């Protein structure tokens, strides 16, 4: 498993809480463990919840924005 740095943020992308480093199988799973809610890679800008930083397979640092899942 990889390590992910989960940063909770507001819709503008401003950090709203201390970051959490956690291991997981994917950025979404790590963020769900850290923040307690399921998130998706796609969504509306105003539903931005977190940015997840990790080292990609090429060795480059990667950032993934995660959004609140819409209510069903």
Local structure of residue 5 (DSSP, 8 states): E
Total number of domains constituting the chain: 1
Cβ neighbors of 37 (< 8 A, separation 6 or more) are 49, 68
> Which tens digits make up the pLDDT trace of 18-50?
999 999 999 999 999 999 999 999 999 999 999
Task: Tell me the average pLDDT of the chain.
Answer: 92
Side by side, the strands of the sheet bearing 39-40 are 20-24, 2-8, 48-55, 61-68, 39-40
Average pLDDT over residues 8-21: 93
What is this structure's pTM?
Answer: 0.89
Q: For residue 58, what are the domain limits?
A: 2-68
């Amino acid at each position: 498993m990889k390590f992910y740095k989960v940063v909770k943020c507001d819709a503008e992308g401003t950090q709203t809480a201390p970051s959490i480093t956690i291991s997981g199988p994917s950025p979404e799973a790590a963020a769900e463990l850290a923040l307690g809610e399921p998130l998706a890679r796609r969504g509306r800008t105003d539903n931005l919840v977190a940015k997840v930083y990790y080292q990609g397979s090429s060795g480059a640092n990667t950032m993934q924005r995660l959004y609140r899942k819409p209510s069903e």
